[in-house]
Amino acid sequence: MEITMSLARAASSSARLAAPRGKARPQPIAAVREAYRLAEIVVSPEHDSVQDRQSARAKLTKILASLTPPD
């Protein structure tokens, strides 16, 4: 649940950041899709490799940090 809320906040913030303001900003859609894919790996019981889950969690953390604007 925490991951889903983080993704929702990041997507919302990224949508605001992606709005044109003079210079074009990159669209975060690909990053959000990748974040959802990684979140599925982290929470899915089908992925029983601890190393895969830890790797996905680390990548997901980096993506969320890049999508979330500073306070």
At 7-64, the pLDDT tens digits run 666 665 555 555 555 554 556 788 888 888 888 888 887 766 888 888 999 998 888 8
How high is the pLDDT of residue 3? 63
For residues 13 and 32, the answer to whether their CB atoms sit within 8 Å is no
CB neighbour list of residue 32: distance below 8 Å, 6 or more residues apart = 7, 10, 11, 14, 67
Instruction: Name residue 15's amino acid.
Output: A
pLDDT at 6 over 80: no
Q: What is the pTM of this model?
A: 0.57
How many whole angstroms separate alpha carbon 5 and alpha carbon 23? 29
Site of tokens 């929702």: 8
How many whole angstroms separate alpha carbon 52 and alpha carbon 34? 15
How high is the pLDDT of residue 13? 58
How high is the pLDDT of residue 71? 64
